[in-house]
Chain A
Amino acid sequence: MYLSIKGLSKSFGELEVLKDIEVNVEKGKVLTIMGPSGSGKTTLLRCLNALEEPSGGVFTFEDGFSLDFDKKVSKQDWLRLRRKSGMVFQSYNLFPHKTALENVTEGPIIVQKREKKQVQEMAERLLAKVGLRDKMHLYPHQLSGGQQQRVGIARALAIEPELMLFDEPTSALDPELIGEVLGVIKELANEGWTMVIVTHEVQFAEQVSDEVLFMDGGYIIEQGPPKQVLKEPKEKRTQQFLQRILNP
């Protein structure tokens, strides 16, 4: 097991968004989170990356690193948590003043202080891997949405994270561009990356996931292998949700 989450809760003021979440993220496996909007799935993902501060709960990593959010968490621990994972955003959030290549090299060179030439070579390899070798000197505004998102994936991979997080990576894309991004993510799954993905793409989730988690109202309603959760859901809310997005 790569990461065990126990008793995770998160409130924004009065509003409880996550309630007593228990999840295990298995090493080399893909965990997909689905659920209606407002169910807390994105908040859960953002807690893993310290973009949201959990109100309570315990994270324990396989290397023994552990965080207890019922106590005060030190700045170093925050950074350590954040640096474990790479994040791919729904709206890409590329740095508009940097080229595709510079977007990818920024973290390794500035934060990790790695050797510039090696980082450049690695970044070129990563951009080639996502099919953008010939676009690496272009600025984000010169790329299509699908291309921008693939740069976003390369940027997240470049910091050599243990865990890859995807927050609805195809939700902002035109339908014909979704495939190219999902293709890259599938490839990463085949390479054995540990990943947590929030998505609405049922078919994709079925193909890529080892485990699917269905959330509603801040709770995990159902979880299990994709065949079971997506094909024969036990819970009524899961059935209704799937019906709605499969036959809109």
Chain B
Amino acid sequence: MSLLNNVLLTITADMGGWELFKNSLLPMITGGIKYTIPLTLISFAVGIVLALLTAMMRLSNSRFLRAPAVAYVSAIRGTPMLVQLFIVFYGMPSLNITIDPFPSAIIAFSLNVGAYASEIIRASILSIPKGQWEAGYTVGMSHSTTLKRIILPQAARVSIPPLSNTFISLVKDTSLASLILVTELFRRAQEIAARTYDFMLIYVEAAILYWVICFLLSLVQEAIERRLSRYTAR
């Protein structure tokens, strides 16, 4: 409780604290809108496409398709996100490939989401009973049509809760991009804190902003879940 007291004291003791809180809102929110949110949305969208592709490769009968997918998922899951980010931004220039901070972050985060989400999608597809495939075949559908029209819509519903988890983790993970000079929300917070030395106030403010973003996203998740589950018994 003494920690909470300290926080409240820092924020409210001198009126300058409240002023600083208000004044740093705009730069942080700007950082959020210009970088954190686009970074999250773009990486997630690209990541989902990668994930779908990887899941299909892992479920295929061909070993030549399965092997690279397995290796990709294993490598990404087995290495820290920060290291991946540094390899793309600081490592690639050694190969004479220089990528700007923002695209570097997009590449690293997309690859990361792609690996984690592919496992979610694969498990969701496997959770749909075999009879659904057979029913698709017996009305004359090919394998790919059955996948598209019958299996994926049902798998989507199963995968929404775990994918939302991945998504919300991603929002928070984008703060790592501050370490490769992307001026996103947390980088802005660091800049202000370095200038004012009000670390507690500024970082708590940053935390609140992340929390608000994640809370709003969880409302969107609930809405999507409700929409997708309208056909199931409750």
* Interface positions of A (Cβ within 8 A of B): 49-51, 79, 82-83, 85-87, 89, 91, 93-98, 106-107, 110-112, 139-141, 155-156, 158-159
Report the separation of the CA atoms of residues A112 and B139 in the bound assembly, to the nearest whole angstrom: 9
Report the separation of the CA atoms of residues A133 and B232 in the bound assembly, to the nearest whole angstrom: 21
Report the separation of the CA atoms of residues A156 and B137 in the bound assembly, to the nearest whole angstrom: 11
Report the separation of the CA atoms of residues A98 and B232 in the bound assembly, to the nearest whole angstrom: 10
Name the A residues within 8 Å of B141 (CB-CB). Answer: 107, 110-111
* Interface positions of B (Cβ within 8 A of A): 129, 131-132, 134-135, 137-142, 145, 149-150, 153-154, 157, 231-233
Whether A141 contacts B232 in the complex (CB less than 8 A), given A83-B140, A106-B149, comes out as yes
Report the separation of the CA atoms of residues A139 and B157 in the bound assembly, to the nearest whole angstrom: 16
Q: Are B232 and A96 in contact (CB under 8 A)?
A: yes
Q: Are A96 and B154 in contact (CB under 8 A)?
A: yes
Q: Are A87 and B154 in contact (CB under 8 A)?
A: no
Report the separation of the CA atoms of residues A96 and B232 in the bound assembly, to the nearest whole angstrom: 7
B127 to chain A, nearest CB (A): 13
Contact of B139 among A50, A79, A111, A140 (CB under 8 A): A111
Name the A residues within 8 Å of B233 (CB-CB). Answer: 141
Q: Are A110 and B137 in contact (CB under 8 A)?
A: no
Name the B residues within 8 Å of A158 (CB-CB). Answer: 139
Q: Are A156 and B138 in contact (CB under 8 A)?
A: yes
Report the separation of the CA atoms of residues A50 and B157 in the bound assembly, to the nearest whole angstrom: 30
Name the A residues within 8 Å of B157 (CB-CB). Answer: 97
Name the A residues within 8 Å of B138 (CB-CB). Answer: 49, 51, 82, 85-87, 156
10 A-B pairs closest in CB distance:
A107-B139, A111-B140, A93-B135, A93-B131, A87-B138, A141-B233, A139-B231, A83-B140, A97-B231, A97-B153
A153 to chain B, nearest CB (A): 12
Report the separation of the CA atoms of residues A140 and B231 in the bound assembly, to the nearest whole angstrom: 8
Whether A159 contacts B134 in the complex (CB less than 8 A), given A96-B232, A97-B231, comes out as no
Q: Are A155 and B139 in contact (CB under 8 A)?
A: yes
B215 to chain A, nearest CB (A): 29
| 24 CB-based A-B contacts, threshold 8 Å | A49-B138, A51-B137, A79-B142, A82-B137, A86-B138, A86-B139, A89-B131, A89-B134, A93-B134, A94-B135, A95-B132, A95-B135, A95-B150, A96-B232, A97-B153, A97-B157, A106-B139, A107-B139, A107-B141, A110-B141, A111-B140, A111-B141, A156-B138, A159-B140
Name the A residues within 8 Å of B140 (CB-CB). Answer: 79, 82-83, 107, 111-112, 159
Name the B residues within 8 Å of A111 (CB-CB). Answer: 139-141, 145
Name the A residues within 8 Å of B232 (CB-CB). Answer: 96, 141
Name the A residues within 8 Å of B149 (CB-CB). Answer: 106, 110
Report the separation of the CA atoms of residues A15 and B134 in the bound assembly, to the nearest whole angstrom: 23
A43 to chain B, nearest CB (A): 13
Report the separation of the CA atoms of residues A112 and B142 in the bound assembly, to the nearest whole angstrom: 12
Contact of A89 among B135, B150, B153, B154 (CB under 8 A): B135
Name the A residues within 8 Å of B134 (CB-CB). Answer: 51, 87, 89, 93
Name the B residues within 8 Å of A93 (CB-CB). Answer: 129, 131-132, 134-135
Report the separation of the CA atoms of residues A159 and B153 in the bound assembly, to the nearest whole angstrom: 22
Report the separation of the CA atoms of residues A158 and B140 in the bound assembly, to the nearest whole angstrom: 11
| Nearest CB in chain B to that of A49: its residue | B138
Report the separation of the CA atoms of residues A82 and B154 in the bound assembly, to the nearest whole angstrom: 24
Report the separation of the CA atoms of residues A155 and B153 in the bound assembly, to the nearest whole angstrom: 19
Extra 14 A-B pairs, beta carbons < 8 Å, given A49-B138, A110-B145: A79-B140, A93-B134, A96-B154, A96-B232, A97-B231, A106-B149, A107-B139, A110-B141, A111-B145, A112-B140, A141-B233, A155-B139, A156-B138, A159-B140
Name the B residues within 8 Å of A86 (CB-CB). Answer: 138-139
